[in-house]
Amino acid sequence: MTDIAQNIPIAQHPPAPRATGVLGWLRANLFSSVFNSVLTVLSLTLIATVIPPVVRWGLLDAIWSAPNGAACHSGGACWAFIGEKFRFILFGRYPVDQDWRPVIVVGVFLAMILAACSRRMWGRRLAILWFVGLSAIFWLMAGGLGLTHVETALWSGLPLTLILAVVGMLFGFPLGVLLALGRRSRLPAVRAICVGYIELIRGVPLITMLFMASLMLPLFLPAGVTIDKLVRAQVAIILFSAAYLAEIVRGGLQAIPRGQIEAADALGLSYIQRTRLIVLPQALSMVIPPLVNSFISTFKDTSLVLIVSLFDLLGATEFALTDANWQGFYVEADVFIALIYWSFCFFMSRYSQMLERELNRGRRR
Amino acid sequence: MASEEASLPVAPARPAPWRDPKVRGIAYQIAFVAAVVGLGAFLVHNMLGNIARQNIATGFGFLRREAAFGIGESLISYTPADTYGRAFLVGLTNTLYVAALGIVLATILGTLMGLARLSGNWLVAKLAQIYVETFRNIPLLLQLFFWWGLLNKMAPGPREAWRILPDVFVSNRGIVFPAIVANPAYRWIAVAFCLGAIAAIGFGRWARKRQAETGRQFPTGWVGLALVVGLPLAVFLAFGAPLTLDRPALRGFNFAGGSTVSPEFTALLLGLVVYTGTFIAEIVRAGILAVSPGQSEAAMALGLKSGQRMRLVVLPQALRVIVPPMTSQYLGITKNSSLAVAIGYPDLVSIANTTMNQTGQAVEGIALIMAVYLTISLAISLLMNIYNRAVALVER
Q: Quick check: A314 contacting B, CB < 8 Å?
A: yes
- Report CB contact under 8 Å: B136, A345: yes
Interface of A with B in 211-250 (CB under 8 A): 211-212, 215-216, 218-223
Residue B36 has pLDDT above 90, yes or no: yes
Question: Residue B141, exposed/middle/buried by CB under 10 A (0-12, 13-18, 19+)?
Answer: buried
Q: How far is B354 from chain A (nearest CA, A)?
A: 12
Shortest Cα distance from A145 to chain B (angstroms)? 36
Q: What is the pLDDT of residue A274?
A: 92
CB proximity A337 to B under 8 Å: yes
pLDDT tens string B202-212: 988 888 888 88
Strand partners, A78: A63
Residue A300: closest CA among B279, B330, B106, B91: B279
Query: Would you call B121 and A29 a contact, using CB atoms and an 8 Å cutoff?
Result: yes
- CB contacts, 8 Å: A336 with chain B: none
DSSP lists the bridge partners of residue B169 as B163, B176
Min Cα separation A29/chain B (Å): 5
Give tens-digit pLDDT for B154-207.
Answer: 777 777 777 777 778 888 788 888 877 777 778 888 888 899 899 988 988 888
The answer to whether A204 contacts chain B (CB < 8 Å) is yes
Residue of chain B minimizing CA distance to A335: B146
Q: Which range, A73-77, B273-277, B302-306, B311-315, has the best average confidence (pLDDT)? A: B273-277
When computed from its CA atoms, the radius of gyration of chain A, rounded to whole angstroms, is 28
- Identity of residue B352: A
Through-space distance between the first and last CA atoms of chain A, rounded to whole angstroms: 53
Q: With cut-offs at 50, 70 and 90, classify the pLDDT of residue B1.
A: very low
- Taking a C-beta distance cutoff of 8 angstroms, is the pair A117, A184 a contact? no
How many other C-beta atoms are found inside a 10 Å radius of the C-beta of residue A183? Answer: 21
What count of CB pairs under 8 Å joins A to B? 161
Nearby residues of A206 by Cβ (< 8 Å), 6 or more positions away: A236, A237, A240, A301, A304, B335
Amino acid in position B289: L
pLDDT value of position A9:
66
pLDDT under 70: residue ranges of chain A:
1-9, 17-19, 362-365
Nearest to B127 among A43, A200, A301 (CB): A43
User: What tens digit of pLDDT does each residue of B80-127 get?
Assistant: 888 888 899 999 999 999 999 999 999 999 999 999 998 888 899 999
* Torsion angles phi and psi, residue B269, rounded to 5: -65, -45
Which of A202, A208, A337 lies closest to B366 in CB terms? Answer: A208
For B323-362, give the DSSP string: HHHHHHHHHHHHHHGGGHHHHT---HHHHHHHHHHHH--H
Question: CA nearest A297 in B: which residue?
Answer: B139
The minimal CB distance from B373 to the residues A43, A203, A304 is found for A203
pLDDT at A17 (0 to 100)? 66
Which residues, at least 6 apart from B145, have a Cβ–Cβ distance to it below 8 Å?
Answer: A314, A318, A330, A334, B342, B343
Domain B84-154+266-391 part of CATH 1.10.3720.10 = yes
CB B188 within 8 A of CB B235: yes
Instruction: With CB atoms and an 8 Å threshold, state whether A223 touches B50.
Output: yes
Contact B180, B189 (CB under 8 A): no
pLDDT score at B7: 59
Contact between chains at A330 and B145 (C-beta distance less than 8 A): yes
Contact present, A112 and A130 (Cβ < 8 Å): yes
Quote the pLDDT of residue B395. Answer: 65
Mutate to test the interface with B, among A35, A183, A197, A208 (most CBs of B within 10 A): A208
At A233 the pLDDT is: 93
Q: Where are the alpha helices (DSSP H) in chain B?
A: 2-7, 21-54, 84-117, 122-136, 140-148, 185-214, 220-225, 231-238, 263-289, 293-301, 306-308, 315-336, 340-343, 348-359, 362-391
Contact A306 B342 (CB under 8 A): yes
Chain B residues in contact with A337 (beta carbon < 8 A): 142
Tell me which residues of chain A, numbers 5 to 64, contact chain B at a CB-CB cutoff of 8 Å. Answer: 29-30, 32, 36, 39-40, 43-44, 46-47
Is the CB of A219 less than 8 angstroms away from the CB of B134? Answer: no
Instruction: Tell me if A211 and B145 make a contact (CB, 8 A cut-off).
Output: no
Q: What percent of chain B has pLDDT over 70?
A: 96
Q: How far is A149 from chain B (nearest CA, A)?
A: 31
Q: What is the pLDDT of residue B339?
A: 92
**pLDDT score recorded for residue B10:** 66
Q: Given A43, A212, A221, which is nearest B124 (Cβ)?
A: A43
Interface mutation vs chain A, best among B370, B377, B378, B381, most A CBs within 10 Å: B370
**Is the Cβ pair B137, A342 closer than 8 Å?**
yes
Q: Residue B246: beta bridge partners?
A: B179
A342 close to B (CB below 8 A): yes
Substitution target in B39, B42, B44, B137 with the highest count of A β-carbons within 10 Å is: B137
The whole-number pLDDT of residue B396 equals 59
Its pTM stands at 0.86
Question: Is A193 in contact with B362 (Cβ distance < 8 A)?
Answer: no
Question: What domains can you pick out in chain A, each with its CATH number?
Answer: 15-52 (no CATH), 79-94+150-363 (1.10.3720.10)
Q: Which residue of A has its CA nearest to B135?
A: A342
Report CA-CA distances (Å) from B166 to A47, A189, B170, B176, B247.
22, 64, 11, 11, 10
Q: How far is A271 from A47, CA to CA, in rounded Å?
A: 60
Cβ–Cβ gap B137/A346 under 8 Å:
yes
pLDDT at B209: 87
Residue B39, classified by CB atoms within 10 Å of its CB into exposed (0-12), middle (13-18) or buried (19+), is exposed
The mean pLDDT of chain B is 85
Of residues B99 and B152, more confidence is placed in B99
Which residues, listed in sequence order, are joined to residue B371 by a DSSP beta bridge? none
Instruction: Specify which of A198-202, B216-220, B320-324 reaches the highest per-range mean pLDDT.
Output: A198-202
Q: Could you say which residues from 248 to 307 on chain A have a Cβ atom under 8 Å away from some Cβ of chain B? A: 296, 300-301, 303-304, 306-307
pLDDT at B284: 93
Domain ranges for chain B, please list them: 21-54, 84-154+266-391
- Measured distance CA(A241)–CA(A170) in Å, rounded: 10
- Give the tens place of pLDDT for each residue, B247-292: 777 777 777 777 788 889 999 999 999 999 999 999 999 999 888 8
Q: What are phi and psi for residue B177, nearest 5 degrees? A: -145, 160
Task: Pick from A78, A187, A219, A299 the residue to mutate for testing the B interface (most B CBs within 10 Å).
Answer: A219
